[in-house]
Amino acid sequence: MNLSVQQFRTKAEQELLDLYTKAEKTLPGAGNPFVADLREKALATYARLGLPHRRIEAWKYTDLRAHLEDVYPLATPRGAAIGANELEAALGKAIADFSAYRLVIVEGELRDDLSDISALKDAGAVIVSLAEALESPPEWLKQTLSKAGPREDDAVFALNTALMTGGVILRLPKGLTLDKPIHLIHLDGTGDPATMVTRNVIMAEEGASATVLESYGGLGMTGLQRNAVTEIEIGDKAAIHHIKFQREAVETTHLGIWLATIGADARYDAFQVSTGALLGRNQIYVGFDGEGSSTDVSGACLMRGRQHSDTTLVVEHRVPSCVSRELFKVVLDDHARGIFQGKVIVAPDAQKTDGKQMANALLLSETAEFDSKPELEIFADDVVCGHGATSGQMDEDLLFYLESRGLPEAEARAMLIQAFVGETFECVDNEALREAFAGVSADWLGVQVE
């Protein structure tokens, strides 16, 4: 293809186009006409848009064009030897030891030798790598991949469609309830910096239910640019508990997108914990397509140094009688910057909607920054909706109280910070994961949990 970025072209914008040119014939599904056409249309969308910048409202706090100066080559899987020690170093002991069906993607490649694919299939799930699925995608997957994305102007999603190389396709047949969670582990590699572009697709058919944990960790790569999309389709009366843990190295740029559609009388619970990456942006889009359903989208973010973390959330109530809840907690130290943009949209026909949203930030230094932009777009008249945002520093009265009871200042501060973020952990149904995330916050604080 003969394409160029049309406006405000930067070196990085052109290099992203060049990635496709260099890899076009070797990308998964290159020989399939549907996949080839899908990729070319997505690349043309990106070429028209270029990288997101601050003049785009949704990216006003995270100017990707300014942040991204160089583009790394696409990762080449090298079959790195990975055992328990490497997993623990990448994810921390509590998350690495979490009891689940493991699906491990290293350098963009689903590793059969590290994954429980056979056991997952025996339990009733349909599982295939993205690379294999793209060689001859079934009709339902074509329909899913053909979706335009969260917004027409989402260049990051378009780039993912054009360059996706690794990931998993997971289908839960009608009525299936798995006996333990699925742990989808994404790891980088070692050596030179690289770009990794993954796409996961999860479909839960009518009445199916599962817990899915996505973890992102590092094995020591000196730099990583990750573009990761997960699409979730939840059928009528189905339930997905979807959790993400992001702990990649501080040199990482992490761009993540979740797209979830919910059927009737169904449930989607989403929870994210982020402690890694120098620049991270998590976009979450949830849409109700069936009545009587609910979602709880929550998260915690712990940042220090010059880390920049952006959570952008859109919940669309397109049908009546659905419930949505959002709660996000951000802890920022040093020169870290946190952003929360949350929008709830209620369509004209979505009567009896119940939606509430809250974002809270705890600033541990005078140089930390929190930007919040909560929004409600309500086009129906019989609804109960509300939103709020707060930011502040440590409560000195509470700190004094704990110190007066004999606690050293560092311990007292850690206790208050853990209590602050701990409210979000209660949104996780799985007790083992709640305890694991309590351990994650303790590790970030440098304290021991009894």
DSSP string, 382-394: SEEEEEEEEEE--
DSSP characters for 79-114? Answer: -----HHHHHHHH-HHHHT--SEEEEEETTEE-GGG
Q: How far apart are CA 163 and CA 152, in angstroms?
A: 18
What pTM did the predictor assign? 0.94
Residues whose CB falls within 8 Å of the CB of residue 131, separated by 6 or more in sequence, listed in order:
28, 29, 109, 110, 165, 166
Predicted pLDDT of residue 409: 87
Q: What is the pLDDT of residue 220?
A: 85
What is the spatial distance between Cα 347 and Cα 377, in angstroms, rounded to a whole number? 8
Q: How many CB atoms lie within 10 A of CB 76?
A: 12
- Both tokens of residue 115? 């994954």
Q: Is 246 helix (H, G, I), strand (E, B) or coil?
A: strand
Please tell me the predicted confidence (pLDDT) of residue 449. Answer: 42
For residue 131, give both structure tokens.
């690379």
| pLDDT value of position 3 | 62
Dihedral of the alpha carbons of 365, 442, 187, 90, in degrees to the nearest 10:
110
Helix (H) / strand (E) containing 16: helix 11-23
pLDDT of 7: 53
pLDDT at 187: 95
Q: Beta strand 353-363 with 383-392: parallel, antiparallel or unpaired?
A: parallel
Helix 431-445 / helix 409-425 crossing angle, nearest 10 deg: 150
- Other CB atoms within a 10 A radius of the CB of residue 120 amount to 21
Taking the chain (450 residues) in consecutive chunks of 10 residues, what is each chunk's mean pLDDT?
61 92 93 96 93 92 93 90 92 92 94 95 96 95 85 89 96 96 94 94 98 94 94 98 95 96 98 96 97 97 96 97 97 97 96 96 96 95 93 90 89 90 90 89 72
**Predicted local distance difference test score (pLDDT) of residue 4:** 58
| Per-residue confidence (pLDDT) for residue 147, from 0 to 100 | 80
The residue among 247, 251, 300 whose CA lies nearest residue 91 is 247
In this structure, what DSSP letter does residue 196 have?
E
- Name 343's bridge partners: 314, 375
3-state SS, residue 219: coil
Of the candidates 230, 318, 234, 300, which has an alpha carbon nearest to the alpha carbon of residue 269?
Answer: 234
Question: How many Cα atoms within 13 Å fall on the side-chain side of residue 330?
Answer: 29
What lies within 8 Å, CB to CB, of 421 at 6+ separation is: 300, 302, 329, 331, 441
> What amino acid is encoded at 371 in this protein?
D
Length of the chain in terms of residues written = 450
Q: Give the closest residue to 248 by CA, choosing from 399, 30, 95.
A: 95
SS3 228: strand
pLDDT value of residue 1: 56
Whether the Cβ atoms of residue 128 and residue 168 lie closer than 8 Å to each other = yes
Pairing assessment for the beta strands 353-363 and 323-332 based on DSSP bridges:
parallel
Alpha helix (H) residue ranges in 172-283: none
- Measure the CA–CA gap between 93 and 104, rounded to whole angstroms: 16
Nearest residue to 98 via CA among 116, 110, 74: 116
DSSP 177: B
pLDDT of residue 378: 96
Kindly tell me the burial class for residue 139, based on how many C-beta atoms sit within 10 Å of its own C-beta (0-12, 13-18, 19 or more).
exposed
**Residues whose CB is less than 8 angstroms from the CB of residue 253 and which lie 6 or more positions away in sequence, other chains included:** 67, 68, 224, 225, 226, 277, 278, 279, 280
Structure-token pair, residue 89: 């170093």
